[in-house]
Amino acid sequence: MTDILVIGAGVAGASVAYFLASAGAEVTVIDAGLHAASTVPAALLNPVRGQSGAVDAGAVEGMALTWALVQALITAGYDVPHGKTGVLRPVPDPRTRARFEQRLPADLAHSWLAPEDSPVFLSPGWNAVLHLPEGGWLDGAAFTRALLATSGARVVRGRAQSWEATSVALEDGTQREAGAVVWCGGSVGASWADHAATHRAGTMLLLSQPVSTLPISFGAYLSPAQGGGVLGATFEQPSPVWNAGPLPLGSLAWLLNKGEALADLSGVRVTGRWSGSRLSGLRVGQTPQGWWQLTGLGSKGFLLGPLRARELAEQMGR
Ligand SMILES: Cc1cc2nc3c(=O)[nH]c(=O)nc-3n(C[C@H](O)[C@H](O)[C@H](O)COP(=O)(O)OP(=O)(O)OC[C@H]3O[C@@H](n4cnc5c(N)ncnc54)[C@H](O)[C@@H]3O)c2cc1C
């Protein structure tokens, strides 16, 4: 397979294009240019997930690979706003701490701090703080854009209507042929294609200034971002379809409450919002129909997307 069509230019498609092109394939990326979750203004590289404290197999390797790519892109002259600052995970009670502790792999650098020893101010009431010094944040759009640009892949603006193992039909009536097709359409694409899937919408409030010099995450997250900060989470009810509706007022109140539980928001202005939808249920590999896919990266698109893309490129014989 020397020529490959990738559908979708989010972090999944850009990463697949990068690894396939690095291995010598001629890659064309077809992208509708709409609704990429990967434009998230500040994505955390946080290997310890949610309120369960689960750590994916590959999280430590995935985090190291994404940071290595950020470094390579910066060395190549791209601007990728990021902070390899570490991440703080405050926990509310000893039970949560015990659950987190049980799941921490030996090769993940970490330490537990008393809340009063936190390197940044935390709102009162936390039981302990997990410090993950190798985590941090990055600008999703800048990282994805730079990865795609450095891959050298040709980018075609258009919406794929249907696809098979070696061809893609576009909405404008044209057809493209290649040695292989890789589907990386994310939440919006799965919805357009009527794939059975679970979608989760979430929102970032853009803040006039960073509330903290490093991300703080439990329930929601506060993070520095290019030109200020964000307060965000994926918290809407799971849905069988992608949904780009307006932010419900109840969600705004929920998010602000979660933010205040983490740190002191006084003096910080909300300057805008970004909303997106992510897809659950990771799928990596070849489908029975013969086309390949990297989809369902959930809330870990930047933690695991490049790693899974490298694995897919290897599976494709690259
Ligand atoms: C609120 C929120 C917070 C998040 N926070 C984090 C975080 O802290 N850390 C982290 O790692 N991840 C985070 N994520 C998850 C991350 O954003 C996603 O996992 C990741 O962006 C998914 O990438 P993707 O490439 O699969 O899909 P997308 O980025 O959605 O890209 C899909 C692309 O495919 C295109 N497309 C779809 N269908 C077609 C078609 N038929 N033809 C042509 N083009 C098509 C779309 O236009 C789009 O450009 C967050 C997500 C949300 C919503």
- Transcribe 134-177 into DSSP letters: T-EEE-HHHHHHHHHHHHT-EEEES-EEEE-SSEEEETTS-EEE
Instruction: Determine the Cα–Cα distance for residues 180 and 313; give it in Å rounded to an integer.
Output: 11
Residue ranges around ligand 1 (CB below 6 Å): 7-13, 30-38, 40, 43-44, 159-160, 184-189, 192, 202-204, 232, 234, 276-278, 295, 297-303
* Distance from residue 16's CA to the centre of ligand 1 (Å): 14
Do residues 147 and 310 touch, judged by C-beta distance below 8 A?
A: no
**How far, in whole angstroms, is CA 103 from its chain's centroid?**
22
- Name the residue at shortest CA distance from atom 26 of ligand 1: 186
Please provide residue 58's backbone torsions phi and psi, each rounded to the nearest 5 degrees. Answer: 95, -5
- Name the residue at shortest CA distance from atom 50 of ligand 1: 299
Instruction: Determine the Cα–Cα distance for residues 241 and 239; give it in Å rounded to an integer.
Output: 5
* Distance from residue 219's CA to the centre of ligand 1 (Å): 21
Statement: residue 108 has pLDDT above 80:
yes
* Residue range 192-210: mean pLDDT, rounded: 93
pLDDT of residue 237: 81
* Distance from residue 84's CA to the centre of ligand 1 (Å): 22
Statement: residue 45 has pLDDT above 70:
yes
Statement: residue 234 has pLDDT above 90:
no
Ligand 1: which atom is nearest the Cα of residue 200? 53
Statement: residue 249 has pLDDT above 70:
no
Instruction: Determine the Cα–Cα distance for residues 137 and 149; give it in Å rounded to an integer.
Output: 21
pLDDT of residue 235: 75
Do residues 148 and 51 touch, judged by C-beta distance below 8 A?
A: no
Instruction: Determine the Cα–Cα distance for residues 229 and 269; give it in Å rounded to an integer.
Output: 10
What is residue 263's three-state secondary structure?
A: coil
| pLDDT over 90 percentage in the chain | 91
Ligand 1: which atom is nearest the Cα of residue 201? 53
pLDDT of residue 318: 65
Superfamily per CATH, domain 3-315:
FAD/NAD(P)-binding domain (3.50.50.60)
Statement: residue 250 has pLDDT above 80:
no
Instruction: Determine the Cα–Cα distance for residues 259 and 222; give it in Å rounded to an integer.
Output: 7
pLDDT in tens, 153-175: 999 999 999 999 999 999 999 99
- Which of 6, 11, 277 maximizes ligand 1 atoms within 8 Å of its Cβ, making it the mutation to test the pocket? 11
pLDDT in tens, 113-143: 999 999 999 999 999 999 999 999 999 999 9
Instruction: Determine the Cα–Cα distance for residues 201 and 18; give it in Å rounded to an integer.
Output: 27
Statement: residue 243 has pLDDT above 90:
no
Q: Average pLDDT, whole number, for the chain?
A: 95
